[in-house]
């Protein structure tokens, strides 16, 4: 491994700039600020819970929860599911990032990965989640339903809505790059190594989903191998 990756290229001393803005352009430096601070995980748990709750509304929108739930029920479900998802990523996800990162020569601990998740990714997700506010003002309850007759009836509002959605998508792609650099800094390796970590974790997730689906199908009917043998 390049020895330069084992040494910070900048001071870990906080210089007064806001991490909320700096993380988008200098994710490694902001990550190092937190890692070298006296309390790296200060407010991280709160941030990840808030980020998860906001993300729950994005999930509700993408899955059209409004078609089956009243608005109060949707809000409760989105907050609970999102917050639990955030906690799962904060605790289990941190250990997975540490574990798989070690295969690539990473040096980061589980707490270092919680800095990445709670201090960097959570802040970025909260900022992206703020785009839900103008989308909600435009689409209202149709933000969470498959059919959007009122939004479709207004070309101007429809254009603004999809423009915001495009910005949200682009911002999400940039967040992925930011996360790679942040993971790389915490593990003291390159963003390409971090991409390898994310790829392996994504592969694990796909395999886990396939196994769960196979178990569900087998429990609710003939074993899945029976279907293969009798096709």
Is 209 among the domain residues? no
Q: How many CB atoms lie within 10 A of CB 117?
A: 26
pLDDT digits (tens, 9 = 90+) for 137-154: 999 999 999 999 988 899
Q: Which residue has the higher pLDDT, 56 or 10?
A: 56
pLDDT tens digits, 208-228: 889 888 888 777 666 555 555
Joined tokens for residue 56: 């729950």
Q: Could you tell me if residue 93 is inside a domain?
A: yes
**Which pLDDT belongs to residue 9?**
54
Decide if 86 is inside a domain: yes
Condensed to tens digits (0 to 9), the pLDDT of residues 161-205 reads 999 999 999 999 999 999 999 999 999 999 999 999 999 999 999
pLDDT of the residue at 2: 41
User: Does some domain include residue 38?
Assistant: yes
The number of domains in the chain is: 1
Q: Reduced to 3 states, what is the DSSP secondary structure of residue 198?
A: helix
> 22 in a domain, yes or no?
yes
pLDDT at residue 6, rounded to an integer: 47
Q: Are 91 and 17 in contact (CB under 8 A)?
A: no
Domain containing 163: what range? 3-191
Give the DSSP letter string of 59-118.
HHHHTTGGGTS-HHHHHHHHHHHHHHHHHHIIIIIHHHHHHHHHHTT----HHHHHHIII
Residue 225 lies in a domain: no
Q: Check whether 3 has a pLDDT greater than 50.
A: no
Residue 215: the pLDDT is 82
Quick one: pLDDT band at residue 84, thresholds 50, 70, 90? very high
Q: Does residue 180 lie in a domain region?
A: yes
Judge whether residue 50 has pLDDT over 70: yes
Task: Please say if the pLDDT value at position 8 is more than 70.
Answer: no
């Amino acid at each position: 491994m390049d020895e330069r990756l084992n040494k910070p290229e900048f001071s870990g001393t906080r210089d007064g700039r806001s991490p909320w803005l700096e993380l988008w352009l200098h994710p490694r430096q902001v990550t190092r600020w937190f890692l070298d601070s006296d309390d790296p995980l200060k407010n991280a748990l709160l941030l990840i819970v808030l980020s998860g709750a906001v993300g729950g509304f994005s999930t509700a929108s993408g899955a059209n929860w409004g078609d089956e739930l009243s608005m109060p029920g949707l809000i409760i479900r989105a907050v609970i599911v999102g917050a639990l998802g955030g906690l799962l990523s904060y605790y289990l996800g941190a250990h997975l990032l540490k574990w798989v990162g070690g295969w690539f020569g990473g040096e980061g601990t589980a707490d270092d990965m919680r800095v990445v998740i709670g201090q960097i990714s959570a802040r970025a997700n909260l900022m992206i989640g703020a785009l839900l506010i103008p989308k909600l003002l435009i689409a209202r309850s149709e933000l969470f339903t498959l059919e959007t007759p009122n939004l479709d009836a207004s070309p101007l509002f429809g254009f603004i809505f999809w423009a915001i959605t495009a910005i949200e998508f682009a911002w999400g792609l940039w967040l992925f790059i930011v996360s790679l650099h942040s993971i790389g800094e915490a593990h003291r390796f390159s963003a390409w190594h971090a991409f390898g970590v994310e790829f392996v974790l994504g592969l694990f997730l796909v395999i886990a989903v396939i196994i769960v689906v196979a178990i569900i199908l087998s429990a609710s009917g003939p074993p899945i191998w029976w279907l293969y043998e009798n096709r």
